[in-house]
Structure 1
Amino acid sequence: MIQAVIFDMDGLMFDTEALSKKSWLVVGREMKLPITDEILHRVIGMNAARVEQECMAYFGPDFDYHRFRALAADYMSRSFDENGVPVKRGLRELLAFLRKNRYKTAVASSSSRATVEHHLKATGLESYFDTLVCGDMVKQSKPAPDIFLKAAEALGVKPQNCLVLEDSANGIRAAHAAGIPVIMVPDLIEPTNELRQLAWMVCESLCDVLPVLEQQHTAELSGGEEQTDG
Structure 2
Amino acid sequence: MDGLMLDSERAMLETWREAALTESIDADDGLWLSMVGMHDRASFAMLAGHLGEDAATRLRDTSYRLYDERVVAGLPRKNGLLELLDLLEARGIAKAVATSTRRERALSKLAASGLIDRFGVIVTGSDVEHPKPAPDIYLLAARELGVDPRRCVVLEDSEPGVRAALAAGATPIQVPDLVAPGEELRGFGHRIVASLGRAHELLDAVLRGGDGRVAGGVRG
Within the alignment, does 1:77 sit opposite 2:68 as a pair? Answer: yes
**Alpha-carbon distance between aligned partners in 1 of 2:55 and 2:21, rounded to the nearest angstrom:** 14
- Aligned match for 2:51, one of 27, 50, 59: 59
2:161 corresponds to which letter in structure 1? G
- Aligned match for 2:35, one of 35, 43, 54: 43
What TM-score do the two structures reach when normalised by structure 2? 0.91
Task: Say which SS state the counterpart of residue 134 (structure 2) adopts.
Answer: coil
Task: Say which SS state the counterpart of residue 219 (structure 1) adopts.
Answer: coil
* Residues 213 and 19 of structure 1, relative CA distance in 2, 3 Å threshold: same
Within the alignment, does 1:32 sit opposite 2:24 as a pair? Answer: yes
Which stretches in structure 1 are left out of the alignment for 5+ residues? 1-8
State the shift of 1:127 in Å: 2.1
**How many residue pairs align between the two structures?**
217
What TM-score do the two structures reach when normalised by structure 1? 0.87
* Residues 125 and 108 of structure 1, relative CA distance in 2, 3 Å threshold: same
Q: Which runs of 4+ in 1 moved over 6 A?
A: none
**Alpha-carbon distance between aligned partners in 2 of 1:188 and 1:81, rounded to the nearest angstrom:** 23
The 5 Å alignment of 1:148-187 reads: 148-187=138-177
* Counterpart residue number, 2:106: 116
The 5 Å alignment of 1:179-218 reads: 179-198=169-188, 200-218=190-208
Equivalent pair of 2:138/2:164 in contact (CA under 8 Å):
yes
Within the alignment, does 1:105 sit opposite 2:95 as a pair? Answer: yes
Task: Say which SS state the counterpart of residue 107 (structure 1) adopts.
Answer: strand
Percent of aligned positions with the same letter in both sequences? 35
Greater mean deviation of Cα atoms: 196-205 or 137-146? 196-205
Which stretches in structure 2 are left out of the alignment for 5+ residues? none
**Alpha-carbon distance between aligned partners in 2 of 1:23 and 1:86, rounded to the nearest angstrom:** 15
- Aligned match for 1:228, one of 187, 203, 215: 215
Higher relative contact order (CA 8 A, sep 6+): 1
Equivalent pair of 2:71/2:112 in contact (CA under 8 Å):
no
**Alpha-carbon distance between aligned partners in 1 of 2:122 and 2:72, rounded to the nearest angstrom:** 23
**Alpha-carbon distance between aligned partners in 1 of 2:18 and 2:44, rounded to the nearest angstrom:** 18
Task: Say which SS state the counterpart of residue 104 (structure 1) adopts.
Answer: coil
